[in-house]
């Protein structure tokens, strides 16, 4: 099993026990040190205290993994950035009412506020959009 899959399998239950999701795990190398970047998300917005708590839990599990042996590693745990693509129905539900820019497979661009989201479609202003028809979608940053 590849290293990232083995680590993901070990930390996913810990993350889910805190009510969050493992969004992504990447492993890079800087010299002799492995850098493990864990992106954690939730159905609500994560705050710094929540990220800190889940970091401690993840760190304890990773330190005990035999697959890393005595390898030095740096653990970085973060929440997804505003620029991350919306790729799953829960991403859309989490951001109801937010401004989004959707590029369709056809090249058409739809901008508007996120309305209802099901497992297969989302309402962007007055447009019902099928997830299958979306090429890329991301939140637009708004300044108030």
**Full-model pTM:** 0.79
Using an 8 Å Cβ cutoff, are 80 and 25 in contact? no
Q: Going from the N-terminus, what domains does the chain have, and what CATH number goes with each?
A: 3-78 (3.30.300.70), 89-139 (2.30.30.100)
Residues 6+ apart with CB under 8 A from 74: 30, 33, 34, 35, 36
Partners of 124 in beta bridges: 114, 127
70-86: per-residue pLDDT in tens?
Answer: 778 899 999 988 888 99
Residues 73, 27: Cα–Cα separation, whole Å: 10
Using an 8 Å Cβ cutoff, are 12 and 62 in contact? no
12-71: per-residue pLDDT in tens?
Answer: 999 999 999 999 999 998 888 889 999 999 988 888 999 999 999 999 999 888 877 777
Residue 19 sits at φ, ψ, to 5 deg, of 85, 15
Residues 6+ apart with CB under 8 A from 142: 98, 99
């Amino acid at each position: 099993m590849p290293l990232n899959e083995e680590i993901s399998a070990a930390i996913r239950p810990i993350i889910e026990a805190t009510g969050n999701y493992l969004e992504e795990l990447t492993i890079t190398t800087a010299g002799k040190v492995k850098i493990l970047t864990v992106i954690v998300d939730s159905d609500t917005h994560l705050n710094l205290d929540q990220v800190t708590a889940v970091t401690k839990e993840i760190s304890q599990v990773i330190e005990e993994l035999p697959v890393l042996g005595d390898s030095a590693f740096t653990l970085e745990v973060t929440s997804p950035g505003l620029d991350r693509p919306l790729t799953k129905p829960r991403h859309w539900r989490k951001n109801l009412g937010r401004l989004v820019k959707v590029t369709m497979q056809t090249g058409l661009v739809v901008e508007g506020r996120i309305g209802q989201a099901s497992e297969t479609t989302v309402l962007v202003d007055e447009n019902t959009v099928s997830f299958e028809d979306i090429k890329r979608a991301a939140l637009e940053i708004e300044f108030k």
